[in-house]
Amino acid sequence: MRKLFPGTLLTSMLLAGAAAAEPPSVATDIPPVQSLVARVMQGVGTPDLIIRPGASPHDYALRPSEAAALQRADIVFWIGEDLTPWLEGPISELAAGAESVQLLETPGTTELTFRGGATFEPHSHSGEEAHGDDHDAHSEERGHDEHDHHGHHDPHAWLDPENARVWLDVIAGRLSALDPEHAATYAANATAGRAELESLSQDINAQLAGLRDRPFIVFHDAYQYFENRFGLAAAGAITLGDATAPGAARIAEIRDKVAALGVTCAFSEPQFNPGLLRTVFQGETTKTGVLDPLGSDIPTGPGLYPQLLRHLANGLSDCLTDD
């Protein structure tokens, strides 16, 4: 029998403790989700990102390093099949032993259905202070036992900070179940993150308060969660919510809406060809800006999500404010 000296025994115990404290391996789909998970894991570990910054999640091919991140994952947090139907296969095959958490399906998530047509009806709200709390008739909050067919819900739900606040708690709960040793840290980080987003929402509400009746056009229909939360008046989108290229009839409909409403502001996105914007607004005196629903130019990590919301608010404010 091997005899352990006190120093050796202490070293063995410390090594065993370090091994026990190893955090779970976590994979995430898009930068905003990675940011929320990183906020909860702050001080414990760093989640992997599957879809690289600057890429569109609607159409993506995994690189070997991203496939490897799925293979080693203990848990995968992703928006869900409505955003990335192509990702279901790799998760099932490469991360077969991992827990899969589709955030769109978690209790308390507010979901909006896709808007039909190239142009939109304005959101209806019941008072100046209701912009952060009311939702249209086409919105719904997912209950604990509710399950839906995929495809008719708008998947860009991360652009509602109230959904992000719900998800912080969901993320902390799932991580704590896998890693009880760090449960207190996960819970504290989620609580702090929720408070930060509440304060940020109040700031954005104040920043955009005077711009709620000013119509604008977006490149693709990705922003209705942000619009609905802060009471903004998008008049239409050049492409569909899944970024499908528009036909001639859709472009003509948007041009008519621009003329009828006197739209003075239109937004492109860094992930897509800005030439379509020039085609639609050829001959118009419309101001243009850039909105990015993914935060492509923001460093990944805990700070990306709040910076993303601030960038959206600043971009809208800059373009919609009179010169």
β-sheet bridge partners, residue 67: none
d(CA 305, CA 298): 9
Tell me the per-residue pLDDT of 48-89, one tens digit each, with 9 for 90 and over: 999 999 898 988 999 999 999 999 999 999 999 999 999 999
pLDDT digits (tens, 9 = 90+) for 158-214: 999 999 999 999 999 999 999 999 999 999 999 999 999 999 999 999 999 999 999
Quick one: pLDDT band at residue 144, thresholds 50, 70, 90? very low
Domains and CATH numbers, the chain: 23-106+113-127+153-203 (3.40.50.1980), 212-320 (3.40.50.1980)
Residue 291 has a pLDDT of: 94
The dihedrals phi and psi of 48, each to the nearest 5 degrees, come to: -80, 150
Instruction: Please report the pLDDT score of residue 150 as a whole number.
Output: 47
H-only helix segments in the chain: 6-20, 31-41, 64-71, 88-94, 161-178, 183-208, 224-230, 248-261, 275-280, 304-320
**Tokens matching residue 67:** 């496939």
**How far apart (Å, rounded) are the C-alpha atoms in residues 193 and 164?**
9
Cβ atoms 170, 163 nearer than 8 A: no
Angle 91-95-99 from CA coordinates, rounded to 5°: 90
* CB-CB contact of 233 with 263 (8 Å): no
Indicate the pTM of the whole model: 0.84
The conformation of residue 228, written as its DSSP 8-state character, comes to H
